[in-house]
């Protein structure tokens, strides 16, 4: 069983009682709001609080300090022993994505700066995305660590981004500009200022004026359609997170100059093709 490290990052929730807009803010500023296990637990708790508050009519998810999220906190990966830890971590993350998708009000990702990796998936789990002109999107897992995503997050990204764009982000490990994201429909609108912008406030007012029941039912219908076509990719997740390449990449990322490609002493079976 993989234990979690407490006290890393936090998630704030504020509610504007006049407008009914709740704001969930990811904060791990020293690491560009990288998602930690503690933050995953916080998001579950905050979503429960939102569902229990009848005054909330819309949820905004954003990051602190001008960045949405750079992805998962890689220091957590340094504690992995083998692929089983990766499978367990992935299960926690998939549950998080499902919790964001099950919130009982419309959801908007307000994206500034970097929106990468796990942050990209969280933004995709929201109903729409509004982004500032400095925002960009990325999924550099093939370049940074050599890990992977399991079936549901990939299906979600494929639905929201399109399969070709998703594969381009993985294969080329490049930044997807906010202009391109808006042209493809992934970003609903580009705004200049996220906080006090009149246009942002108008977007929020439009959303709080429509039926949450309709939005949530449409969102849930699409989620169930994704679930129906999922394959079991546990073996692929196990293989990626248990590989010597992944283990050494994590150590190099965290500054271990002596990391080699033979970190893992446990044999990892190659994934079977079906």
Say whether pLDDT at 262 is over 80. no
pLDDT at residue 192, rounded to an integer: 85
Q: Above pLDDT 90, what percent of the chain?
A: 85
Helix or strand or coil: residue 240?
helix
Q: Are 242 and 86 in contact (CB under 8 A)?
A: yes
- Tens of pLDDT, residues 9-49: 999 999 999 999 999 999 998 999 999 999 999 999 999 99
228 in any annotated domain? yes
4 in any annotated domain? no
Tell me the average pLDDT across 220-226. Answer: 97
Tell me the average pLDDT across 176-186. Answer: 97
Tell me the average pLDDT across 153-169. Answer: 98
Tell me the average pLDDT across 221-244. Answer: 96
265 in any annotated domain? no
Least confident window among 1-15, 118-132, 159-173, 178-192: 1-15
pLDDT at residue 273, rounded to an integer: 53
Say whether pLDDT at 6 is over 50. no
What domain range is 119 assigned to? Answer: 10-194+203-253
Counted domains in the chain: 1
- DSSP state for residue 64 in the 8-state scheme: S
43 in any annotated domain? yes
pLDDT at residue 271, rounded to an integer: 56
187 in any annotated domain? yes
163 in any annotated domain? yes
Rounded Cα gap, residues 88 and 158, in angstroms: 23
Tell me the average pLDDT across 133-151. Answer: 97
- pLDDT band of residue 5 (cuts 50, 70, 90) is very low
171 in any annotated domain? yes
- Tens of pLDDT, residues 100-121: 999 999 999 999 999 999 999 9
184 in any annotated domain? yes
Say whether pLDDT at 265 is over 50. no
User: In terms of C-beta density within 10 A (0-12 exposed, 13-18 middle, 19 or more buried), how is residue 255 classed?
Assistant: exposed
- Tens of pLDDT, residues 117-134: 999 999 999 999 999 999
Angle at 142 between CA 139 and CA 144, to 5 degrees: 85
Between 60 and 261, the more confident residue is 60
Say whether pLDDT at 153 is over 50. yes
User: Within a 10 A sphere around the Cβ of 243, how many other Cβ atoms?
Assistant: 23
Q: Are 59 and 219 in contact (CB under 8 A)?
A: no
pLDDT at residue 263, rounded to an integer: 37
Report phi then psi at 173, rounded to 5: 50, 40
pLDDT at residue 269, rounded to an integer: 47
Q: Above pLDDT 70, what percent of the chain?
A: 90
Query: What mean pLDDT, rounded, does the chain reach?
Result: 91
CATH code of the domain covering residue 182: 3.90.226.10
Say whether pLDDT at 209 is over 80. yes
Name the residue among 220, 226, 216, 135 with its Cα closest to residue 180.
Answer: 135
Helix or strand or coil: residue 129?
strand
């Amino acid at each position: 069983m993989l234990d979690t490290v407490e006290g890393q990052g936090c998630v704030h929730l504020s509610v504007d009682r006049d407008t009914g807009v709740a704001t969930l803010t990811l904060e791990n500023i020293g690491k560009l709001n990288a998602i930690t296990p503690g933050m995953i637990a916080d998001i579950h708790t905050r979503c429960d609080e939102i569902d229990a508050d009848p005054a909330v009519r819309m949820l905004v998810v954003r990051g602190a300090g001008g960045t949405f999220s750079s992805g998962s906190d890689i220091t957590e990966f340094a504690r992995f022993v083998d692929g089983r830890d990766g499978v367990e971590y992935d299960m926690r993350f998939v549950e998080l994505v499902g919790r964001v998708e099950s919130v009982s009000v419309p959801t908007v990702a307000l994206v500034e700066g970097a929106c990468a990796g796990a942050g990209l998936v969280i933004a995709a789990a929201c109903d729409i995305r509004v982004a500032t002109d400095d925002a960009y999107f990325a999924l550099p897992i093939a370049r940074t660590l050599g890990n992977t995503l399991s079936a549901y997050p990939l299906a979600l990204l494929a639905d929201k981004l399109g399969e070709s764009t998703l594969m381009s982000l993985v294969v080329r490990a490049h930044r997807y500009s906010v202009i391109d994201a808006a042209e493809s429909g992934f970003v609903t609108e580009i705004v200049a200022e996220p906080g006090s912008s009149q246009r942002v406030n108008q977007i929020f007012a439009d959303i709080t004026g429509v039926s949450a029941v309709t939005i949530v039912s449409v969102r849930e219908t699409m989620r169930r359609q994704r679930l129906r076509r999922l394959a079991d990719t546990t073996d692929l997740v196990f293989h990626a997170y248990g590989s010597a390449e992944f283990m050494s990449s994590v150590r190099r990322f965290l500054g271990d100059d002596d990391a080699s490609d033979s970190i893992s002493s446990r044999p990892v079976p190659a994934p079977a093709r079906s």
